Structure 1
Amino acid sequence: MPNALIVFYSLDGDVRFLARTLAKELVMDSMELELVKPHPTHGFMKYFTGGFLAATGATPPLRPLAHDAADYDIVFIGTPVWNSRPTPAVRTFLKGADLEGKRVAFFTSYGGSDVKTHRILNSLVPGAKVVGNIGFKMPLKMDKEQCSADLVRWAKELLNN
């Protein structure tokens, strides 16, 4: 099995749930991205700030990373969808990571649609080979067992190809 890493950002827990499930089921390293200045977690500013920063392509600084993506064969990257875009934390990671020649796969959690988000994510890794994209509509509120099973099956297929 290839050496794999899961990188993710989660504010409300949906992507954290997906990432932790994947790491546990497939015994992979994982790291949660943390902003130097944490994002608001409730109220109007949570949505206003998040949507605005996502729409403008902001890249706020991250706390030091626990793993170097360059050390892995395949990197799974998870993000919530904010304003039809990836989160600023994931954008910062992608702008700074050395993913040249790496296999990359994206997973998202969304409320509306993630089609635009996947196009943006794919464009942020020009030197990498994007091997997969998958999205889940509000996994913690909908059917988390089905989402988990679908995610693990998808990842296993990517790891075995």
Structure 2
Amino acid sequence: MKKIYFILLVIIVLLAFFGAQTQLFSAKKDSPANMEKANEEQIKSLSPARKILVVYFSHSGSTREIANQIRESVGGDIVEIQTVDPYPSNYVALVMQAKQERESDYKPALKTKIKNIESYDVIFIGSPIWGGTIPQPVVTFLSEYDLSGKTIVPFCTHGGYGEGQSFTDIAKLSPQSTVLEGFAIEGNKVKTAQPEIAKWLSKIIE
């Protein structure tokens, strides 16, 4: 009789041990690091199905940093929107010029030309936030190219006040396009933005 009790006790101990191991494995599998890695693998496996272009305008370099991180995640091509006449480096002069252009709906001429934009299926469009919305060079870009039927994904960098009207204005300028959820981040956080970018991309990429 004692032998039977001993065998039952051994079985109970073994079941408890393997149960604990299973929970430990599950916890490791669902850890933030592994979930982030799974998100990145999902993004990389799905993005080749469509031809992607990351196009952006950047003045200080913050939006350029985010654009490069997005491109590293989704692949595709990347193009910087550059104006024929560069913007001033002085902050006050820049703010004044941007305000004048926005109020007069001035569209600065672009040095950047994209000849085969019709071949892209998904276009990420990035910019800083000037005066609560997209800078006029981005308005020029959206006015010059027919993006009908394409999927547009906006992203922006800002000084702490969020995306403002930028995503709404991009949608208004692209009435025949599908505009997905955008991504906004403060300019001083761009160097460590990759986890947030991966989380955002995992939600919007099908």
Same fold (TM over 0.5): yes
Distance apart, 1:66 and its partner CA: 4.2
1:60 aligned partner: 108
C-alpha deviations, 1:44-66, integer Å up to 9, x for none? 21221123323433211101424
Distance 2:180 2:65 in 1: 22
Distance 1:109 1:64 in 2: 21
| Alignment pair present for 1:154 and 2:200 | yes
1:96 aligned partner: 144
- CA contact under 8 A between 1:79 and 1:108: conserved in structure 2? yes
Distance 1:157 1:54 in 2: 33
- CA contact under 8 A between 1:9 and 1:15: conserved in structure 2? yes
Distance 1:130 1:116 in 2: 14
1:144 aligned partner: 191
Unmatched runs of 5 consecutive residues or more in structure 2: 1-48
Distance apart, 1:42 and its partner CA: 1.9
Percent identical residues: 22
Greater than 4 Å deviation, 4+ residue runs: none
Structure showing greater radius of gyration is 2
Q: TM-score, normalised by structure 2?
A: 0.70
Q: TM-score, normalised by structure 1?
A: 0.88
C-alpha deviations, 1:99-154, integer Å up to 9, x for none? 0000101001111231322211111101111122121122xx23631x22222332
Alignment map for 1:36-115 (pairs within 5 Å): 36-66=84-114, 68-111=116-159, 112-115=161-164
Backbone CA RMSD of aligned residues? 1.7
Structure whose residues are more often strand by fraction: 1
Unmatched runs of 5 consecutive residues or more in structure 1: none
